[in-house]
Amino acid sequence: QEDLEALIAEFQSLDAKKTQVIESSCPPPSPRLNGSLSAHPEKDELILFGGEYFNGQKTYLYNELYVYNIRKNSWSKVEIPNPPPRRCAHQAAVVPTAGGQLWIFGGEFASPNGEQFYHYKDLWVLHLATKTWEQIKASGGPSGRSGHRMVACKRQLIIFGGFHESARDYIYYNDVYAFNLDSFTWSKLVPSGIGPAPRSGCQMATTPEGSIIIYGGYSKQRIKKDVDKGTLHTDMFLLKSEGAGKEEDKWAWSRLNPSGVKPTPRSGFSAAIGPNNRSLLFGGVHDEEEEESIEGDFFNDIYFYDMGKKRWFPAQLKGPKSEKRKRRRGRQAEAEGAEDEEMEKQQPQGPVEIIKEVVAEDGTVMTIKQVISGPAEEKERSESEEEEEDGALGQQVEPCPRSNAMLAVKHGVLYVYGGMFEVGDRQFTLSDLYSIDLHKMEEWKVLVEMDPKAQEWLEESESDEEEDDTEGAEGGEEEEESSEEESEDDEGEEQHPSVQPGEKHVDYLSRTEQYWIKLSRSNMGPDAKEKKVVKVAHAMAKTFYEDSV
């Protein structure tokens, strides 16, 4: 703990040397998860703060501030003196006061080897109009934690849950705190009724009436020495203020029993508030514990919760109508189109599990399982060459399945940035950016594609050759410098294949897989098992293939 505090203090002293605001155009941020993405209350901008990245050996933490300009589809880095220390799994909430304020509470700092954690209990505000950070020192707030949830509700910030982990033990919380944005004071709420069990990573949303909804989350319990049992929560609660907006309001918990199609059990999902009085959740992972390992099913689906009707339903993509019409030529195409529409009507509305078997070049059979919330017609088509030529052109682009992504909604458009997924023992951290219009629900748009050069993975066995860990924890700038050096060295390497004019999509997918098998072999070293190499390569090839087509 003392070592981590010393490391944090060292980083803060480096940050303190910055004396002026520097805003500069920059490429998209490096891969990360568990940061915060927030919509500016007045401008067409998204604000990214913090996050983490793990390359197999070292954990990097960030306190950089990036701004995404929605209209220009461009990023800028804003360096502001005396920022909050590096962190991930914090919470951010925006309020429109005085040109906009971004409030940050809590989160965690990890040692470079990822085995020790420091949990913050500090509260910060970024004044967006003046570009200044301010730490708010007020007593009586929550204890240090990460994985908690925070929302702005009327003139208060409400914080619920989270967890704290030390070398010896861990604890999950279900307490509720309120920070008054006028008096700058904390109060611990003591709601009546039976509330949620302790948990982290839940969905927390504010209703137009000023009540708060809690859904899902994750917790674990120690059932005997060195044995923990994890719980995926799927229950739902309402926290309602029984007063008239006064500070002494009485709050009450009640259980909700929503109708509709609930999300399948998962952790690591991301949540946001959409238009039409709906909250939403995206992605996540469901871990299946096997004899010697944990295999995760990752998701890329969206579920809406209608707060007025108290009803869950999975999002359904309608597809871009104008493009469909352009592609259909002649009577035969029209007839096929009518059949397609008829098939769409017959599709089940609940989640659909799709299992594909792919035979690799060396004869290894890989099973890829994906759960999607909508019709499976696109995925289940037979892969005849005719359909490859005709149907693949209309294939929907979508973010690859992931957990711990960052979400924001602006003008009814959902933005999804980064996150991670796993293949075997390897973690892929993402840096792509997608958007979808929640009013139209027609199609995903790729705003920033994933950069294959940003995917670094170092096996644990290589760690003896690495230098001391402290450098790894320093976060963004050091990593970016090293990646620039790497890219200079890599100039002579084979580039990621792009779709050739007239090339059949099945041929392009095959070429992409060969590229990734070659790259995975070189990255994972000569001792890597061929089956693992092919599995990693296939996952990456599939992601880039879908982005490209």
Eight-state DSSP code of residue 143:
P
Residue that the structure tokens 């399945």 belong to? 401
pLDDT score recorded for residue 199: 98
Q: For residues 52 and 113, give the distance between their C-alpha atoms in angstroms, rounded to a whole number.
A: 13
pLDDT score recorded for residue 44: 98
E strand or H helix that includes residue 234: strand 227-241
Eight-state DSSP code of residue 267:
B
pLDDT, tens digit (0-9, with 9 covering 90-100), for 252-303: 999 999 999 999 999 999 999 999 999 999 999 998 765 455 678 999 999 9
pLDDT score recorded for residue 15: 78
Mean pLDDT score, 499-514: 73
Q: Are strands 406-410 and 413-423 parallel, antiparallel or unpaired?
A: antiparallel
pLDDT score recorded for residue 345: 41
Phi, psi (rounded to 5 degrees) for 417: -125, 135
Specify burial of residue 390 (Cβ count, 10 A radius: 0-12, 13-18, 19+): middle
Higher pLDDT, 251 or 504: 251
The answer to whether the beta carbons of residues 168 and 121 sit under 8 Å apart is no
pLDDT score recorded for residue 456: 78
331: how many CB neighbours lie within 10 A of its CB? Answer: 8
Q: Does residue 363 carry a pLDDT above 50?
A: no
The answer to whether the beta carbons of residues 339 and 507 sit under 8 Å apart is no
Q: How many CA atoms, within 13 angstroms, populate the side-chain half-sphere of residue 227?
A: 3
CA 281 to chain centre: 10
Q: For residues 5 and 105, give the distance between their C-alpha atoms in angstroms, rounded to a whole number.
A: 18
Mean pLDDT score, 421-447: 93
Q: For residues 276 and 397, give the distance between their C-alpha atoms in angstroms, rounded to a whole number.
A: 25
Average pLDDT, the chain: 80
Higher pLDDT, 549 or 166: 166
Q: Does residue 320 carry a pLDDT above 90?
A: no
Q: Does residue 389 carry a pLDDT above 80?
A: no
The answer to whether the beta carbons of residues 258 and 205 sit under 8 Å apart is no
pLDDT score recorded for residue 394: 53
Q: Does residue 348 carry a pLDDT above 60?
A: no
Range in 60-64, 166-170, 227-231, 343-347 with the lowest mean pLDDT = 343-347
Q: For residues 240 and 249, give the distance between their C-alpha atoms in angstroms, rounded to a whole number.
A: 10
Mean pLDDT score, 216-234: 89
Q: For residues 89 and 148, give the distance between their C-alpha atoms in angstroms, rounded to a whole number.
A: 8
377: confidence class by pLDDT, cuts 50, 70, 90: very low
Question: One-letter amino acid identity for 187?
Answer: S
Higher pLDDT, 508 or 151: 151
Q: Does residue 511 carry a pLDDT above 70?
A: yes
Residue that the structure tokens 């995917």 belong to? 455
Token code pair at residue 132 = 């200044």
Q: Are strands 311-314 and 259-260 parallel, antiparallel or unpaired?
A: parallel
Higher pLDDT, 391 or 213: 213
pLDDT score recorded for residue 214: 98
The answer to whether the beta carbons of residues 288 and 296 sit under 8 Å apart is yes
The answer to whether the beta carbons of residues 509 and 516 sit under 8 Å apart is no
402: how many CB neighbours lie within 10 A of its CB? Answer: 28
Q: Does residue 375 carry a pLDDT above 50?
A: no
505-524 and 530-548 helices, crossing angle to 10° = 140
Q: For residues 455 and 429, give the distance between their C-alpha atoms in angstroms, rounded to a whole number.
A: 7
Residues facing 160 on adjacent strands:
149, 176
262: how many CB neighbours lie within 10 A of its CB? Answer: 19
E strand or H helix that includes residue 509: helix 505-524
**Domains delineated in the chain:** 260-317+399-443+451-456 (2.120.10.80), 505-548 (no CATH)
pTM: 0.75
pLDDT score recorded for residue 463: 42
pLDDT, tens digit (0-9, with 9 covering 90-100), for 83-109: 999 999 999 999 999 999 999 999 999
